[in-house]
Each structure stands twice: as structure tokens, then as C-alpha cells.
Chains A and B, each alone.
Chain A
Amino acid sequence: MRKQEEGSRAVAEAVALCRPQVISAYPISPQTHIVEHLSDMVRTGEIDPCEYLMVESEFAAMSAAIGASAAGSRAYTATASQGLLYMVEALYNASGLGLPIVMTVANRAIGAPINIWNDHSDSMSQRDSGWIQLYAETNQEALDMHIQAFRIAEQVSLPVMVCMDGFILTHAYEEVDIPDQAQVDSFLPPFEARQLLDPADPVTIGAMVGPEAFFEVKYLAHAKQMQAMDLIPEVAGGFASVFGRESGGLLRCYRTDDAETIVVALGSVLGTIEEAIDELREQGVRIGAVSLKSFRPFPLAEVREALGHAKRVVVLEKTLAVGIGGVASANVRTALSGIQLNGYTVIAGLGGRSITKESLLRLFEAAGRDELKPLNFLDLKTDIVDRELARVHASGPSGPHEENILRDIGVVAAEAH
């Protein structure tokens, strides 16, 4: 059914359709509306049978999901940013134990400084946790991906996180098509646990594995993600046949066939990127974009195929690996190993800073002239940082940068924030 509603609500409805039996929830901006809607649906019996656990932390949220999944119930939770970090130990535990938990990550920056707005530093920081990571471009895709995620997770026995941009998607009202229960049931069969805590057939889960066997167990987790590489497009294909639309998969190419410049990015920014690309195409510029949907497993072969023919690749990412630069770009570079082309990393949108079409046009034009540096920072206020760096250099240790910047620019102005 077509509706105009908030992204969080659409995701909650999709999760509900997947018949989770245990939802553990700890609130954090900007995921709160998701867990609130789910709470309502459990109370009214829309999701039944389902136990909704209001846990005392994100660490507990993931831990409860681990227990529930091991006990044979389809389990779900959601978080963002600081909350994701708080459950890191449990993330590794869930993937190491091969439990098919699905979690929404409402992408948000990680502090300090504390910031509630969107970027990808949270999910990117967990790219090695063993979880499958999918990135949604729109709210439609976000809700679709959750349905696909349960199927992928349960088939390959790995947990899946569905990443959607906080506020930009979670709090955006847009048109979505919510599937009906019969469709979802036909696509997603009931959960059959691969390992189960059952008195009728007791097993020990979580033993201590020594050097003689750990390596093999860990390798198998990687092997499963490689299996997922095949499974993800298969599930997306199956989804398209049942629900009638393209959603998910490993990546999506936009006007890349004859492109000389290809922009690579993840999530909702692709919308603005496409608008910029269309404008440049009108001017005859041969430019296209690749939207990465599956970041883990990382589709090396598909990325290589999509980008290999270009003259230059611009990876625009909402993550900064402090001390080196880009994260996604490093993975893209791996895919392009051996291929000669100009690669540019653009860090953008950190802490929710808007990425505008205007800025992108300037950026892409500069890229086209190969005037970009290897590492670029879109719309960074360089004058402010230069002055702060100069001050530190001149006067030695000088307190928090935030304080100094305020002194530098004068009284706090009532500008847009």
C-alpha cells in the first residue's frame, strides 16, 4: 500500500511484517521513532507473538537479542552512533556465534564532540565486526532491505545491519509502498535456527576455542560473507519478483557505461549526486555514479567492473579515518588494484553538514579537470582550521579547539545551525 509517511515508521512497519518474536530496544537519537512505533505495534497486538524488551543499555539490547536468537526466536534491535559503540563487544559475539540478528543503524556521527546528526562513522567503525552491512538510499529501500536482511541473515547465519541515514532518511516523510503480510510471508519463511538452546537436544554455545581451532572458525565467518556476496543479489532478485521493484543488491550504477568520471558513494547522498550528474550530463560531461549497497561483504569484483573503464573515480564518503583519510575509498582502491586511473577521496557531510548540489557541481567539475588532491574535504571551513592550527603552533597546548574557534570568530552568531 502506498503511503506518505516517516522513514522510521516505514521501517518499523517492515520489521513488523517480518514477524520478529523478540525486539530489544534502547532509545538513541535518531532511531527513537523506530523503536517507539514497534512498541506501539506490540502493545496493540499488531506484532504477535512478540516480546518487547525495554533494556537498560545498547549492550543489553544486543545481548538480549543474542539470547533470543540462540533460543530460536527471530530477533531485532536498532541503534546508532554511541549506542553502536556501546554494544561492540556484543556485535562481535553475535557474528562470531553466527546468530542471524537484524539491526537498523540510523547512521549518526560519533563523539566527541557529541553530535546527533548524520554521517557514516558509526557503521563504518564496525565494518570488521563480521556483520553484513547494507546501505539504503531511500526510505523505500530501507524498508525493503530489512525484509531482505532477515532472509539473508537466516540463510547464511550471520547478523545483518541495515544502515539508513539518521534524520535525512529516518525523519523524512516520503512516499513508500508498504508490502502486505502475505507477500512478506511468501518471501520470508519462519525462522529455523541452525543452533538452538533446547532442552530436548542440549548444546553448548560459546566455548573457549584455542589456537588450534580459532583460525578455522574465524575463516568460516569470512567464507560465509563470501557466500553472502552471491546470496545478496539473489535475494534482491527474488525480492523484485515478489514485490515488483529493484531494491538492495550489491551496488547500483547510474549512467556509468560511458562515464569518464565516476562518483562512488553510499546512502541517501546519491539522490543529490544524481541531480548534479544529470546537470553535468546536460552540458555533455561524461559522468556517472555507483551506489554501494553492500559494504560488507565488499563486492570487489562488481566494483572493479563498474569502475574499471573510467579515467577517474571520486569516492565521496561520510567517514573520516583520522590519521589516514577515507574508509570506503581504501576498499574501492583495493577493488581497482592494478588498474591505472586517478582516484580521489572526498570526505563530506561529517556531523550532518549538508552536501549541496552546488558544492557537488564544483567538486565534480574540479575532478574533471583533475584538480583535486588525493584527499579532499568538501566545504570544510579551511580558514578557521588554519587559524586554529597556527595558534596551536605558536602558543603550544591551548585547550579545546571548540572554545578557541568560538573566540576566533567572535561572539556566537544566531546563524542557522
Chain B
Amino acid sequence: MFQIRIHGRGGQGVVTAAELLSIAAFEEGQHAHAFPTFGSERTGAPVTSFCRIDQSPIRSREPISAPDALIVQDPTLLHQVDLFAGLGDDGYVLINSTRSFGDLGLEEFARRFRPERLLTVPATDIAREHLGRPLPNTVLLGGFSSLSGAVSIDSVAKAIRAKFKGSVADANVVAAEKAHEYVQRERTELAAHA
């Protein structure tokens, strides 16, 4: 089983991100479960969503306390909420930021983990460029598919098209692919320097 936890704020599409991830996994013939925890307030409050992916049917209904991967849609949560709780040493972390892990004040923290699995991607900027809105969720999924390989970029694209229509879907697919490329490049660079 592969467990992903997504953190962000209300209005950033955190819940949708988990749903899309689950659809992407479904498209690949896997079982997937996505669900949120949230308050009844609307925008701005911290929101966490979860996605479990597995080859066999998923039965667990509890929140993910030991994630294999984290996606952080809003870096302002970084030093406010314990985002990394339960993350295993082999965990993947993808943070929406123009800055590096070091510049985010996470260098110390990052030492526990495998460096090639911790990346940032400027998802908001990519989103602004391709969607005209600072909505980073699909972008991050594109990056995530490269980072973790949990789902392919094609499946991410399929999921986007399942949920969105027309030009909105197109734009989101392009943005996701851009992030996918970006992360590919990052990983290649990291591997080269390793």
C-alpha cells in the first residue's frame, strides 16, 4: 500500500488533489481511496486530505498517520502545523515552493531522509502561467507522479480529464506535464550531483 497525505489550505484544491490521485490510480487498475479531513469553514483553514493506493482492496478508514509521501500545497503551513508527522525515512516530500529545502529552513530536517525524494516545485507559478490562477493542485500531482512513480503522468492526465472539461482540463494537463518535466530535471540533476 502507498499512502499519500496532502496538506494545504481551504480553497487550494487539496481535497480535489487527493481525489484526482485516486482516479489516476484507478485508471491504472489499482485500488484507491481518497478522503479529506476538514472543518466546516471554507477558505483559508488548514486542510488535509489522504489517498491510499494498493493492489488489493483497501479497507482501512483511518487518517493516514504513517504516510509514504507528502505533498505540501501551501508552504506557510510548514512551521505551523506538524506536517511531517509519521513520515517514514524513505518518504517522498513534494513542496509547493520556489525555494529549496534549505532555503525553507528544512535542511536539518531533510537529513533524516533520502535527498532525492525531497523536492520543491514552483507549482503556484506554473499554475499562474498555464491556468491563470494560483491553483497548484494538479500541477503538484504532475510533479508527484515523477517524484514517486506512484501513478504515471498519463494517468494523472486521464484523471484531470475525468474531472474537468474542455479548456480547463487542457490547461491543467499542460500544467501538470510542465511540473512533471520540472521534477524530472530536478531529479536528474540531483542524481548527477549525488
Interface residues of A (CB under 8 A from B): 4, 6, 29, 116, 165, 167-168, 171-175, 268-272, 274-275, 354-358, 414-417
Contact = CB atoms under 8 A, between A and B. Distances in A.
Q: Which secondary structure characterizes the binding site on chain B?
A: mixed
Contacts of A358: 65
Contacts, number: 73
Most buried by A among B25, B26, B36, B80: B26
B40 A29 contact: yes
A4 to B, nearest CB: 4
B19 A173 contact: yes
A174 B22 contact: yes
8 contacts: A4-B32, A116-B40, A172-B33, A172-B34, A414-B80, A414-B81, A416-B81, A416-B85
B23 interface: yes
Contacts of A167: 35-37
Contacts of B15: 171
B59 interface: yes
A271 B35 CA distance: 15
Nearest to B45: A417
B62 A417 contact: no
Contacts of B65: 356, 358
Contacts of A173: 18-19, 22-23, 32-35
Contact of A171 (B32, B35, B60): B35
Nearest to B31: A175
Contacts of A116: 39-40
A172 B60 CA distance: 12
B26 A175 contact: yes
Contacts of A275: 59-60
A269 B61 contact: yes
10 A-B pairs closest in CB distance:
A271-B59, A4-B26, A173-B34, A172-B35, A173-B22, A173-B19, A356-B62, A4-B23, A271-B61, A268-B61
Interface in B21-56: 22-23, 25-27, 31-37, 39-40, 46, 48
B31 A354 contact: no
B187 to A, nearest CB: 28
Nearest to B20: A173
Contacts of A4: 22-23, 25-27, 32
Given A174-B32, A174-B33, A175-B32, A168 B26 contact: no
B63 interface: yes
A34 to B, nearest CB: 16
B108 interface: no
A6 B19 contact: yes
A167 B80 CA distance: 25
B60 A357 contact: yes
Nearest to B25: A4
Given A356-B62, A416-B81, 8 more contacts: A116-B39, A171-B35, A172-B34, A172-B61, A173-B18, A174-B22, A355-B61, A416-B85
Given A6-B19, A415-B82, A354 B62 contact: yes
